[in-house]
A and B are shown apart, each in its own frame.
Chain A
Amino acid sequence: MCTARSSSTLLVWLFTSLLLVSRADGQTERMDFSVEDARPLGAAVLSLLTRYPVVITYEDPRYQYSGDLQDVTERVRRNPNSTGKGRILVPRGGHLHASYEIAQETGTPVNMKDALNGVVAAKNLNAVGGRFAVYQSGDALHVVPVEVRDSNGAWVKQQSVLNTPITLSSGELDGYALMEAILKEVSDASGIKLGLAAENVTNTLGRYRGGIEAADEPARDVLLRALHSISPRLTWILNYDPSDRYYFFNVTVVAEPPPPEVPLDLSTLPRPGDPTPAGPPFRAR
């Protein structure tokens, strides 16, 4: 079903990520990071969270300026005579290059928030696709849009849709229905639709049963709490669809944390001379 796009086009368009490591001093190294994507910052965040066990969320801006978008209808529509309607607009995106410091011993960023701030600062040098900021809540880092160009190309402030306060009492639901219920509440409260895309974690959501209660609480906090009640490794990539003007709440999974080292409890091992269940003293072998 991929015939509508030639492989040579794909080669140019495919998300590429290049990581180069250079030694800076005895304890740290610089990690060079390069991506080419319609959402370069989103791709960078995805790359970071699948590489390191840190919860990072990403949210697209609601694009308004034609210079931030591109019409890819002819290039990506597979079945021009099918039920497809309207033009397919996607973020123009582009190239993002950044670097951050990693500890030699652990191979992880010396300071994840600093690393992320560096990546976001590098993105913000390019006007295409809006400007972003990093917020922290607890152990989670949130990359959210703060400015976007309006339809005339002038910069305007933009509030994150997940700042919207919501109130709900979900009752007991499976994880899928729980996330849908929260997103519906956010959609209703903000007037901006958010749909769930969680195909890769269907079983994780489906096997969970639980509920959530929130009273006039930022949607971001409610969503994070709900996801982390299902698994502390879940996070989201919130992509905006400029064609249909709504968000896709993509649920994804951060890297598995390394197991903590704990001493083995040797107190249950018998020592020579200890009594044994059968009677005679224990003999070392």
Chain B
Amino acid sequence: MTIKKYLPAAGGCLWVFTSGVAIAQPPPQCSHASGYWTDNYGMLWSLTQQDVYITGSVYTNYMCGAPIWGAGGSAGSGYLSLIASNPYWGDYCATYFTYEGTLWRGGCNVASGDWNNDYGYLGTFVMSKACEIPPYETTTAGGNWLGPHYKFIAQVSDTSGGNLSGRKYRETNYATGFDRCWHWGSPVMKFEGITQPNPFNLGSSNTYTDEIGWGTEAIKHYRNHGDAPCNTTLYQQMQIACGAEGVETYHYVQNNVLVAEIGVTTLTVTRDGVPKVLDPYPTPP
């Protein structure tokens, strides 16, 4: 039997370039392991994390003297370290075993690595837990203008009491927008949606920035052609990943209506009902 699984194209070979210099910051890692996990040996883990420290238990699913063992360990910066202790010493089961592995970016709900026990056995493990999907996000009043763009700050809700560091997040469109600045033959393409070929990873603060607005050339063009005031309305859907990076799937978090207006002398950008006005914004030379 052949089991097929799909990996998205990373397009890695296309990233190679000869004389350019790409400087990439490492994306944030997963750092939170609270929850109920199941591993490839059928064992069920119940873990709670405070800072980097983990406490909990594991149901071993084997005919040991005690099926439920105590568990402890730590997690952070993409690693997971667990130790399970047999409370019933003297049975034919191991006294303890350890898991050392990686929390996979993307959904941060998959971990894998190596185990060993005091019998001297060793092997590999894969474990997963239900994916936490934030119920909403909030556009905050903070942020700043970057030229004609406003950088909104959004706070993603967190239901696990930990953080969403390492979770992949992306924006897409839930409907086609309406660009009221565009006219027949305009050299500026219609601005009626956002496209994000590169999803990003949330950090431990559960916040991210969303830069929205017209560019200077479009502002100049539409003002000089007598089109201002005019605006575009965009229908943005924020989605979060579940599963290991490379095989992740995306799930709905929230829809946001975005509006970017070119005024005669001002700019206005609105995200999820939070308006920001730049007054005045002179037409660029």
With a CB–CB cut-off of 8 A, which chain A residues contact B62? 276, 278-280
Q: How does the 8 Å CB contact mask read for A262-285 relative to B, with 1 for contact and 0 for none?
A: 111010111000111111101001
Report Cα–Cα, A243/B220, bound state, in Å. Answer: 13
Q: Are B125 and A277 in contact (CB under 8 A)?
A: yes
B-facing residues in A205-257 (Cβ within 8 Å): 206-215, 217, 225-226, 228-234, 237, 239-241, 243-244, 247-248, 250, 252-253, 256-257
The answer, yes or no, to whether A122 is at the interface (CB within 8 Å) is no
Q: Are A200 and B195 in contact (CB under 8 A)?
A: yes
The answer, yes or no, to whether B212 is at the interface (CB within 8 Å) is yes
Q: Are B93 and A279 in contact (CB under 8 A)?
A: yes
Report Cα–Cα, A175/B17, bound state, in Å. Answer: 16
- A214 CB contact (under 8 Å) in B19, B116, B194: B19
Residue of chain A at shortest CB distance from B214: A199
The answer, yes or no, to whether A192 is at the interface (CB within 8 Å) is no
- B4 CB contact (under 8 Å) in A197, A199, A261: A261
The answer, yes or no, to whether B129 is at the interface (CB within 8 Å) is no
Q: Are A266 and B194 in contact (CB under 8 A)?
A: no
- B20 CB contact (under 8 Å) in A70, A83, A201, A211: A211
Q: Are B211 and A202 in contact (CB under 8 A)?
A: yes
With a CB–CB cut-off of 8 A, which chain A residues contact B97? 277-278
B-facing residues in A111-129 (Cβ within 8 Å): none
Residue of chain A at shortest CB distance from B5: A264
Give the interface segment out of B48-56, B157-165, B184-192, B273-281.
B184-192
Residue of chain B at shortest CB distance from A230: B198
- B171 CB contact (under 8 Å) in A80, A203, A210, A279: A203
Q: Are B227 and A13 in contact (CB under 8 A)?
A: no
With a CB–CB cut-off of 8 A, which chain B residues contact A83? 223-224, 226, 228, 264, 283
With a CB–CB cut-off of 8 A, which chain A residues contact B191? 199-200
Q: How does the 8 Å CB contact mask read for B205-234 relative to A, with 1 for contact and 0 for none?
A: 000001111111110110111111111000
The answer, yes or no, to whether B99 is at the interface (CB within 8 Å) is yes
**Chain B contact residues, majority secondary structure:** loop
Give the interface segment out of B38-46, B72-80, B136-144.
B38-46
Q: How does the 8 Å CB contact mask read for B74-104 relative to A, with 1 for contact and 0 for none?
A: 0000000000101000001110010100000
Q: What size tier do the contact residues of chain A reach? A: 35 or more
* Given A77-B225, A277-B97, A277-B99, A259:B9 Cβ within 8 A: yes
Q: Are B224 and A85 in contact (CB under 8 A)?
A: yes
The answer, yes or no, to whether A91 is at the interface (CB within 8 Å) is yes
Residue of chain B at shortest CB distance from A229: B22
Q: Are B93 and A278 in contact (CB under 8 A)?
A: yes
Most chain A beta-carbon contacts within 10 A, residue among B6, B197, B210, B221: B197
Report Cα–Cα, A90/B183, bound state, in Å. Answer: 10
Q: Are A274 and B123 in contact (CB under 8 A)?
A: yes
Q: Are A231 and B3 in contact (CB under 8 A)?
A: no
* Given A202-B149, A278-B60, A82:B226 Cβ within 8 A: yes
Residue of chain A at shortest CB distance from B194: A200
* Given A77-B227, A275-B123, A278-B97, A264:B92 Cβ within 8 A: no
Residue of chain B at shortest CB distance from A171: B21
Most chain B beta-carbon contacts within 10 A, residue among A76, A196, A213, A217: A76
Residue of chain B at shortest CB distance from A140: B14
Q: How far is the CB of A198 from chain B (nearest CB, A)?
A: 6
Q: Are B184 and A13 in contact (CB under 8 A)?
A: yes
Q: How far is the CB of A238 from chain B (nearest CB, A)?
A: 9
Q: Are B22 and A202 in contact (CB under 8 A)?
A: no
Q: How far is the CB of A136 from chain B (nearest CB, A)?
A: 15
Q: Are A285 and B224 in contact (CB under 8 A)?
A: no
Q: How far is the CB of A171 from chain B (nearest CB, A)?
A: 9
With a CB–CB cut-off of 8 A, which chain B residues contact A210? 20-24
The answer, yes or no, to whether B34 is at the interface (CB within 8 Å) is no
Q: How far is the CB of A32 from chain B (nearest CB, A)?
A: 24
Q: Are A275 and B119 in contact (CB under 8 A)?
A: yes
With a CB–CB cut-off of 8 A, which chain A residues contact B215? 196-199, 202
Residue of chain A at shortest CB distance from B117: A277
The answer, yes or no, to whether A137 is at the interface (CB within 8 Å) is no
B-facing residues in A46-101 (Cβ within 8 Å): 46, 60, 70, 72, 75-80, 82-86, 88, 90-91, 93
17 pairs, A vs B, C-beta closer than 8 Å: A76-B183, A83-B283, A90-B186, A201-B195, A202-B211, A203-B200, A206-B151, A210-B24, A211-B23, A229-B17, A229-B20, A233-B197, A248-B188, A250-B188, A259-B6, A278-B93, A280-B92
B interface residue numbers (CB < 8 A to A): 2-9, 11, 14-15, 17-25, 40-43, 60, 62-64, 69, 84, 86, 92-94, 97, 99, 112, 115-117, 119, 121, 123-126, 146, 149, 151, 171, 180-181, 183-189, 191, 193-198, 200, 210-218, 220-221, 223-231, 260, 264, 283
Q: Which 5 A-B pairs have the closest CB atoms?
A: A84-B226, A90-B185, A195-B217, A232-B14, A38-B185
